[in-house]
Structure 1
Amino acid sequence: MKNLLSFISLFVLFCSYLNAHTIKVKGHITSGKDHVPYANISINNGQKGVFSDAQGHFEIELEEGNTYSFTVTMVGYKELNQEFTPTKREHDIHFNLMKDLLELNEVIVSSSRRAQSRQETSSVVNVVGSEFLTKNDFKVVGEGLNFIPGTRVESTCGNCGSSQLRLNGLEGPYTQILIDSRPLFSGLVGVYGLEQIPVAMIDQVEVVRGGGSVLYGANAIGGTVNIITKSPEFNAYEIGSNFGTIDGKSHDYNMYFNTSLVSKNEKTSGYFYGSYRKRDAWNANPNDVYYHLDDQGMPVGNPIKDDFSELTSLNTMSFGTKVYHQFSDYNKVAVDLKYTHDQRRGGNKLDLPEDEADITEGIDMHIGTAMINHDWYSKDKKFHLNNYLSGQYVHRDSYYGAYQAKDGFGLTTGRTIVGGSQLNINLGDIANGTSYFVAGVEYINDQINDKKLAYFDDENGKYTDDATVSNQISSTYAVFAQNEWVSNKWSVLIGARWDFVDIIDRQNHENDKRVNSINPRINLKYKLNKTMQLRGGFATGFRAPQMFSEDLHIEVTSGQGVRTQLDPNLKPESSVSYNLAWDFDKTFGIVQTYFLVEGFYTKIKDRFDNQYNYLDDGTLILYKRNSTSDAMVQGINLEARIAPSEKIAVQAAYTIQSSKYEEENQWGDEDSSTSKYILRTPNQYGSLTMDYKLTNQWTASMTGVYTGSMHVPYLPGGFINGELTTQEELIKTEQFFDMGLKIAYRTKLTKQANIQIGAGVKNIFNQMQSNFASGIDKDAAFVYGPISPRLFYIDVKIGNLLN
């Protein structure tokens, strides 16, 4: 009994010793007099962490007497670093955050494949956050990208509603678009993809201009756009709806929801979202007329009023989920599932079946995506291993046809698989700085099968066979590595990536291609002082040849056979890019300012030159070869942000550039005209945004997008102002300023929820191109300037995190 009592006493003393050395620390986070809810508190570089609650308070257990390094981050506030040593007498801690009115301290991953503050990166990275997208009533991610320096989103077809993103003046195929750092945007999805990603799923969009092939592979010649989806961090929800109208007849309706759920032990969490959008077609020139053409291509008969759409009808539904489970402080798994159904149709007689209209271009697309991600950390957080596997399947029914053609139906299927492994190592102190090493392997498999479907041929009295347009498999094997060394003054990043691309043409193995490409990257950053820094970079890039071409798919509307042929000596496109940037970040009293000047230069060699040729039997040949004329894009990006107070913030961006070929370049087939200009690329463009807090409940926001004059081709066949155009022309367009304005009111709906009601107008001055083409044979690609006309809208949203 005596021994038992002694053991119990020792056990009690031991427990008391443990309790004496473990203290429950209580803390609260404020900004001025206001508490900051749901802030992220990271301890000792992520070894421990917690979020503040809805009132800005938190609790965490720490060992007495140990000194801990706290890092507090929250969107809209500057990062705060503070050390704290808990004792029995001092176990409360207070953090007072300073507002980041210019949003310069976002955490980004696109620059070096590791999380770091935007201001710390060796290369210039621009960010558009979810708050900016939602407060300006943007429905899809493409609408918000015009507000990043050097970035433009433009419509490329008035019939099918396709669009493309240009970085530093380079066409869409030269930009690598990523979803959560994965290259799932194949050539098939990329045509419409920017209008298929709802804002409800977006956390932020990161844009890196210039060569980025070292980290992300082919097509990153112009730059990289990384779309980061939302992750669950605390219990939250938001539902919203908006309604817009162009002319009282054509409407645009959208509704969405998103919610985050976190378990009590914070080990499991999930994010769920859904979005539905319906937009009516719109005709820009209903009073224009056109005529039918006779066998000699001359107008005959009575004038016919134009009934062709310039904005396609849309019916898009998206929903998805992202679920995390943390097995321990060092192991975490995430599963991401998404589904999108997108229907769109343009042309005329939209109430009739596709093959009974004069022109119809339409799609019915299903996109399913699954991603699994595993993260492992060492106990000291110096090693981070990330393993990932992603897959996407696309099924697209389409119709591209004119004159009630029965042969316009098509079916395109695509499958993309991306898998890889990446190791991040904090090498610690080296030469008075800290070194971060990243290495990884990646495999990308992309399969596309594009065909025209069989139809009943009245002339021959029998069914035709399916006609394959493109059937290819592309496999990419990649290895990459880079090291970033960071000191108080300098950051030096050096890396390289090797890609082996194996392309198989299932129709014609003479088109099979194997490409090896090694691309280096160097970035330097030098801090001139606390407020100014210089960044410079050099990178090479490449683009492998692809058999699939959406341009070819649209071109085939008359029943002819189709073949793609690659030049036997076809080489991949290659690029060299340079950039030099100076930025300035300083607060004068209460006025926050930021300025950026960035010069850029990109040269593309061995450009793909697509030639359309017709054989005597009517077969259309798309022949791909390398051009002898290089392309060069150079210019300056300017950015300024000023916040005189917490009530007002202004941001402006402007680009001045030159985009030309070294030699005259043909537009399309061998008989077309030539130009030194890279078409559809203005030499000047920019954007402006302003937010004004009228009161604690009333806010106003203004947006503006400026598009300078550019050279746009017009192909003959249609009517402009009732006159048949028989000559191809290179038109120098007018300038445009697309301005929007919104006013919103926010108030408490319940104790735990806010409601916000807003109203606004887009494209106030109704800036649109001066002439639109009419007629069955019109050039559908003759679209430029703002995508949407003047649109009035109202919106309502309810949530517990509205601000």
Structure 2
Amino acid sequence: MTGIPIGSQEVIFSAVGYERLKLRLQVLPDSILDLHIHMKESRNSLSEVVVTGTMKEVSRLESPVPVEVYTHKFFQKNPTPNLFEAIGLVNGVRPQLNCNVCNTGDIHINGMEGPYTLVLIDGMPIVSSLSTVYGLSGIPNSLVERIEVVKGPASSLYGSEAMGGIINVITKSPSKAPLVTADVFGTTWEEYNVDAAIKFSGKKFTSLAGLNYFNYANPIDNNNDGFTDVTLQNRISLFNKWDFIRKDKRLATVAFRYVNEDRWGGQMNWNTEWRGSDSIYGESIYTRRWEMISKYQLPFKEKIMLQLSYNWHDQNSYYGILPYMANQQVGFAQLFWDKDFGEKHSFLLGGTMRYTWYDDNTPGTLSADGLHDAPAKTPLPGVFIQDEWKFTNQQTLLLGYRYDYDRYHGSIHSPRVAYKWSPDKNNVLRASFGTGFRVVNLFTEDHAALTGARQVVVNEELNPEKSYNSNLNYVLKVPSEHYYLGFDLTGFYSYFTNKIVGDFDQDPNKIIYSNLNGYAVSRGVSLNTDLSFNFPLQLLAGVTFLDVYQQADRGNGKQKVVQLHAPKWSGNYLFSYTYKKKYTLDFTGTFSGPMRLPIQKNDYRPAYSPWFTLANVQLTRKFTNGMEIYGGIKNLFNFVPKDPFMRPFDPFDKTANDPVSNPNHYTFDTEYNYAPLQGIRGFLGVRYTLF
């Protein structure tokens, strides 16, 4: 080893995202040292590289936009088969199940509904519209390197659907991935999950191929309502990513993913023979999905990047007797110029084109005369610009603007400004203001309600939803010789106008769409804390306070309506301790305060949920050969919601109009949900990594 003086020396190794490693070496004359260095991932993630906030690779500490980063190691502390379940450990992010039968779900950020959350894969808007219903369950954790979360509107860079926030799934790089990985686990509910990946390479490429298989085929009805507590699923997901070696280290990558899933839920004696019948109730969904993502640096002196993505999503489903057949294709292209004018001035200029093709068997995609099929075709071009100035080592200003054109809504403008002040390395203050927008596709978001019995009515020329957002973030690091203590405090306020709502009550034969005569607000405070000691103990805790509501005129003056499924208080916690570098004990969980729930008139069920927590415990044994064995208990306190169904004994409402047996005119309902119906269960798994 050259450069190290002879004698006893202390050598320090450092790398972005890893803890510094100090070694005491005895260097002899003419000695050759062959060192194999194994570094731990840093518990202080502020040094990690992030891309979501500004579309440029910067350290999290330097980013003027607050970005939260969670690595795959974080999600292994409570192993789950997909992203939808895993993301629940993030403070302020809530995976919400919207149906107790088919387990359809979406992801809420700061209390805003799922359509306001943009899910990206490697920066590409792959999961959107139709695919948000079941596509989130098809993203396996095996392909995830890290997840970046931006809370609050980000339309100035990412356009429509980014009004509530962004979840960017950064997939593993083939060149940096292990040679072989495998992760297999099962639960006492007879759920089985297999994740496996292998890397191979040639002279001009490195490729990573992965497989995820999940199976749950054991109907359970612990609450004795006659329905499955959890949707049965049989899903396979294949993933393949290629990195190509090019001249001057220019980037070229392409990735493919295929998902095939068969899921059903319903009455315990249902099988495919009853699909679509009115004898035994079941909800059966067949999903097929293809995705392609690519990124290519053009062969110019300037850094010009071309990004392309395409997804094809097909859904064949029956909700009781109601068929829903839909197909969606989304193509996306983005070209941007990334330019640095010196060390303190960064510039970004780009253009995008998004094209959505959508067809289903509802009135939403019929011609005006109702005689033939007329798929919805939605082009959405846009341009964006971002200018970032670092005035001093302590101050950074970011200005951004985006222009989009929609053929129905016309021109849409989305500016933003962000400012970062860091007086020293332990204090960071960020402030931002911006606007967001969302061009709404009515039919992909309310497809379950669009039946042949209802006529879709638009009483006015709908304007795009707009938001005005402000955000104040403060990060405090308290390093010490014996511990590290970190605080991340954020206050946010978003004001929404032109919210598009559907009126299902005015006429039972119609859905009448209009812009909300009023406004909506999402405001609150979020705090994340991190306490790590110089011995292997780490404590994480987060809490979020929300106030999310609409102020609307419903004909009798303006009234405040609290947002459904938006608890005022929620949070997460994590305790992790490692003994002798072999055994790790993880105690993780989330908690939630009361949230408003969808109820019927004269409903006997509470309008608000109770306080509850979902806790998990796991013990992991690590071996020197790359093997890990882990096991534990999920939902440790066995919390399960009460009365999830209304009238489960009459799912087809055959006797709903009987005034004697049903004086309150209740109807079958599956949407009264605030927590999973799956109770306590054990799990056991094995994980293997070969570098």
User: TM (normalized to structure 2)?
Assistant: 0.88
Equivalent residues of 1:707, 1:785 under 8 A apart: no
What residue identity is the alignment partner of 2:210? Y
- The 8 Å contact of residues 161 and 311 in structure 1, kept in 2 or not, is answered as yes
- Does residue 770 of structure 1 match 2:637? no
- Judged with a 3 Å threshold, the aligned counterparts in structure 2 of structure 1 residues 286 and 533 are, in CA distance, closer, same or farther, namely closer
Say which of 132, 138, 143 aligns to 1:190.
132
1:750-801 Cα deviation digits (max 9, x unpaired): xxx4211111111100112133323314211111124532121000112225
Question: Could you tell me which amino acid in structure 1 is paired with residue 288 of structure 2?
Answer: H
Question: Where do residues 58-457 of structure 1 align in structure 2 (5 Å cutoff)?
Answer: 73=15, 75-77=17-19, 100-234=42-176, 235-246=178-189, 251-263=190-202, 267-280=204-217, 282-283=219-220, 286-287=223-224, 306-348=225-267, 349-353=269-273, 354-356=275-277, 357-376=279-298, 383-401=302-320, 405=321, 408-429=322-343, 434-451=344-361
Give the partner amino acid of 1:417.
G
1:595 to 467, 473, 487: 487
Taking the aligned partners of 1:386 and 1:735, their CA distance within structure 2 comes to 48
Q: Secondary structure at the match of 2:163?
A: coil
Separation in 1, partners of 2:385, 2:120:
19
Task: Measure, in 1, the Cα distance between the counterparts of 2:36 and 2:622.
Answer: 29
Partner of 2:657: none
Q: Does 1:644 align with 2:539?
A: no
d(CA) in 1 for partners of 2:334, 2:114 = 25
Please report how far the alpha carbon of residue 415 of structure 1 lies from its aligned counterpart in structure 2 after TM superposition.
0.3
CA distance in 2, matches of 1:26, 1:351: 72
- Superposed CA RMSD in Å reads 3.1
- Equivalence for 1:472: 376
Higher alpha-carbon Rg: 1
| Distance change >3 Å, CA 760–CA 98, structure 1 → 2 | closer
- More moved, 99-108 vs 160-169: 99-108
Match of 1:62 in 2: none
SS at match of 2:84: helix
Residue 370 of structure 2 corresponds to residue 481 of structure 1: no
**Superposition pairs for residues 18-57 of structure 1, below 5 Å?**
none
Q: Give the Cα–Cα distance (whole angstroms) in 2 for the partners of residues 236 and 77 of structure 1.
A: 23
Residues in 1 aligned to 2:332 and 2:59: alpha-carbon distance in whole angstroms: 27
Query: Residues 151 and 221 from structure 1, CA distance in 2 versus in 1: closer, same or farther, beyond 3 angstroms?
Result: same
| Structure 1 residues 142 and 564, CA gap change in structure 2 (3 angstroms) | same
The aligned counterpart of 1:795 is 685
- State the Cα deviation string for residues 391-448 of structure 1 (Å, max 9, x = none): 11111111112xxx3xx3332111000012011101115xxxx011011000000111
SS in 1 for 2:324: strand
Which residue identity lines up with residue 630 of structure 1 in the other structure?
Y
Q: Cα–Cα, structure 1 residues 94 and 800, in superposed 2: closer, same or farther, change >3 Å?
A: closer
The letter for the 2-side match of 1:438 is L
2:577 maps to 692
Does the 8 Å contact 2:605/2:643 carry over to 1? no
Distance in 1 of aligned mates of 2:492 and 2:387:
23
1:736–1:786 contact (8 Å) kept in structure 2: no
Q: Distance in 2 between matches of 1:259 and 1:637?
A: 39
| 1:638-677 mapped onto 2 (5 Å cutoff) | 638-663=527-552, 676-677=561-562
Percent identical across equivalent pairs?
23
Q: How does 1:534-613 map to 2 (within 5 A)?
A: 534-554=429-449, 556=451, 560-612=452-504
Deviant stretches of 4+, over 4 Å:
24-27, 32-36, 88-99, 281-286, 376-379, 466-470, 726-730
8 A contact 2:16–2:47 mirrored in 1: no
- What amino acid is the match of 2:382? A
| Residues 185 and 665 of structure 1, relative CA distance in 2, 3 Å threshold | farther
Letter in 2 for 1:143: E
Picking from 497, 520, 526, the partner of 2:415 is 520
CA contact (8 A) 1:713 1:728 kept: no
Question: Alignment partner for residue 633 of structure 2, among 761, 771, 784?
Answer: 761
Letter in 2 for 1:713: P
Say whether residues 1:632 and 2:538 are aligned partners. no
Distance (whole Å) between structure 1 residues aligned to residue 445 and residue 299 of structure 2: 43
In structure 2, the partner of 1:734 is 610
Q: Which amino acid letter does the alignment assign opposite residue 337 of structure 1?
A: F
Distance (Å, rounded) in 1 between the aligned partners of 2:54 and 2:455: 41
The alignment covers a number of residue pairs equal to 650
1:352 deviates by 4.3
State the alpha-carbon separation in 2 of the partners of residues 377 and 767 from structure 1.
57
Contact 2:405 2:411 in 1 (8 A): yes
Cα separation, 2, equivalents of 1:421 and 1:79: 40
Matched residue of 1:768: which SS?
coil
- Helix, strand or coil at the partner of 2:607: strand
Does the residue aligned with 1:132 lie in a helix, a strand or coil? helix
Unaligned stretches of 5+ in structure 1? 1-23, 37-71, 81-87, 288-305, 454-465, 503-512, 717-725
Amino acid of the residue matched to residue 317 of structure 2?
Answer: S
- CA positional deviation for 1:555: 6.1
Aligned 8 A contact 2:417 2:432 in 1: yes
Once the two structures are TM-superposed, the CA of residue 183 in structure 1 deviates from its matched residue by 1.2
CA change 1:490–1:283 in 2 (3 A) is same
Distance 1:754 1:35 in 2: 25
CA apart distance, 1:367: 0.4
Name 1:290's counterpart in structure 2.
none
Deviations 1:164-185 (A, max 9, x none): 1111111111111111111122
**Residues of 1 paired with 2:135 and 2:410: CA distance?**
27
**Separation in 2 of the partners of 1:794 and 1:480?**
48
